[in-house]
Amino acid sequence: MELRMPSINKVIISGNLVRDPDTRILENGTHMARMSIANNQRYRDRNGEWQEKTCYVDVVAWRKTAELVSEYCRKGSPVLVEGELVYNSWEDSDGNRRSRLEVNARRIQFLEKKNQGSSFDDDSEASKNSRDQGIPDDDIPF
């Protein structure tokens, strides 16, 4: 009998959009939005001084979530992304092998005050007007 490890692939990350989302409609009519977020992490170094490092994460959103990202998010917008890691590889026009690790967003929560923490996902049309009070402003890392 073969023992199998459970397969868990879940990512939750917050950050600010590095640039405006790149949105498009594919040939089959599906909306897609690509974006990159900067996640800033503060820590104390060996001397007790505060340091900050930034991790840039590529994110792709689909369908209704992509439409709403396109409408409401701009460079600098703070977001909380929930999804899974996806590894893509392809050959570019020069014949070079390329690859990218990105988050396939299942849910994106907009953290700007004007949206009052609006949350959108592909599973529920009703989520368009939902509010998530689970993350106090003091706990957001930017």
User: Which run of H or of E encompasses 69?
Assistant: helix 63-72
Please report how many Cα atoms fall inside a 13 Å half-sphere around the Cα of residue 8, on the Cβ side: 5
The two structure tokens encoding residue 104: 């396939």
pLDDT (0 to 100) of residue 125:
44
| Model confidence band, residue 121 (pLDDT cutoffs 50, 70, 90) | low
Name residue, tokens 């923490």.
117
Alpha carbon distance 50, 56 (integer Å): 20
C-alpha pair distances (Å), 71 with each of 56, 96, 120:
22, 35, 12
What is the per-residue pLDDT across 51-103, written as a single tens digit (0 to 9) for each?
Answer: 999 999 999 999 999 999 988 889 999 999 999 999 999 999 999 999 999 99
Residue 138 backbone phi and psi in degrees, to 5: -65, -20
According to CATH, the topology of domain 11-139 is OB fold (Dihydrolipoamide Acetyltransferase, E2P) (2.40.50)
Please report how many Cα atoms fall inside a 13 Å half-sphere around the Cα of residue 109, on the Cβ side: 16
Most distant CA atoms of the chain, gap in Å: 56
Alpha carbon distance 137, 135 (integer Å): 6
Name residue, tokens 């996640």.
39
